[in-house]
Chain A
């Protein structure tokens, strides 16, 4: 009996508590920087596309909503000929972002993607590609250790050791 009255009293006191509701269209909720929202394709610091069309994101996608076609530029760099994400299927799981070896595909804190026409939810490459570096500024895949694609010389990349001269006896 006491506990019932106490419950009622405590419930009544909630009349004077602050409401938790965020009145959405007027007040935007705070979204964390790593919020998994709309998917973008980023560029590196030289404003070149980061994507190398390796298809890992499409392979990782559990709903098969990513579709892309690889192509090779005159400098020998791979890039996607088209890159298409069907957001009416996307579940915003972020597996594509985890799979991406070049930090090209990223999820950003934006969820306001409502459309009246379902077809408008299919985003093409020009809709996805942004002219910024996203969450990893100053990262350039080609400047890391690896093959020379004209961006850096052999042995001059980040985390890369000088090539071993196999002709010498010195250690």
Chain B
């Protein structure tokens, strides 16, 4: 019964946060560009989300005749499902987690790898040059950053002696892991941006070059699912950074653990949006070079040094 309640709460909260992020992002971006953003619909423009939802639900859901129909329909669902499944392992508060697995981190990494299928299949089934280019870029980028995304987390896993998110949170009671694992945090953060293909690393979409990349041919709610999936990805990566490196729900007791968890998560969501407001998109080869030549060795060195220090202490 407890699990059922948790599942419903997590599902509702995550999806409404993802939808609400549309408004948050537009308002924050506007502020950082000296504009106001959507402020007409409802108080502070909050009903903009509702208006957008109504609009996108009533849009024509068109499947191009040249597309591979079955794959075309499945692709956007994959990104939603894999991202939502990853939320099952993240503890929002003590004993508030859908499935407190001993291998939570491995599940998360596995699901984010599966997320690549969504983008690749969308690009492939659209049967369109730009979509295919976008899908190809996305697969290369995500596979590259997947590698050291996992490796950068191993330092945390070694320090907490567990793959379970709850155990890692509890292991941070004395010191948040971003201090000893700063390199791991930086690498994971950058890999997280690339994994959600958010703005500095949004070359799979790259509206300046590829129209809209892999979801060029999508419309209506299928496009909406890619969109919401992207925002859920941001929420997921932010929540995981907060959990693994910033003590999750731990914090001074004048606020409940829930609030601490959400404060930290929303801080990183804000950083994601700030990155979008501030940074230009790198070239495709620069992105790969940066990944393989700098971040990958850095994460390996971080892993080795952490292992050596832990071995020396014990």
Surface stretch bound by A, among B32-40, B141-149, B229-237 = B32-40
Contact, CB under 8 Å: B35 / A8: no
Q: Main SS of chain B's interface residues?
A: helix
Assess the A7–B34 pair: CB atoms within 8 A. no
30 pairs, CB–CB < 8 Å, chain A vs chain B: A4-B279, A7-B278, A7-B279, A8-B274, A8-B278, A10-B278, A11-B32, A11-B274, A11-B277, A11-B278, A12-B32, A12-B274, A12-B278, A14-B31, A14-B32, A14-B33, A14-B34, A15-B31, A15-B32, A17-B34, A18-B34, A19-B30, A19-B31, A19-B34, A19-B35, A20-B35, A21-B34, A21-B35, A21-B36, A23-B36
Number of interface residues of A (CB under 8 A): 14
Chain B's closest residue to A17 (CB) is B34
Is B275 engaged at the interface, CB distance under 8 Å to the other chain? Answer: yes
- Which residues of the other chain, B, contact A19 by a CB distance below 8 angstroms? 30-31, 34-36
Closest to B40 in A: A23
Nearest B residue to A13, CB-CB: B32
Query: Which residues of the partner chain B approach A12 to less than 8 Å between Cβ atoms?
Result: 32, 274, 278
Tell me, in angstroms, the Cα distance from A7 to B33 when the chains sit together.
Answer: 13
Complex formed: what's the CA distance from A20 to B36 in Å?
A: 8
When the two chains form their complex, are residues A8 and B275 in contact, meaning their CB atoms are under 8 A apart? yes
- What's the Cα separation between A119 and B34 when bound, in Å? 39
Q: Report B-chain residues with C-beta under 8 Å of the C-beta of A20.
A: 34-35
Residues from chain B with Cβ under 8 Å of A23 in the complex: 36
- Chain B, residue nearest A6 (CB): B278
**B33 to chain A: closest residue by CB:** A14
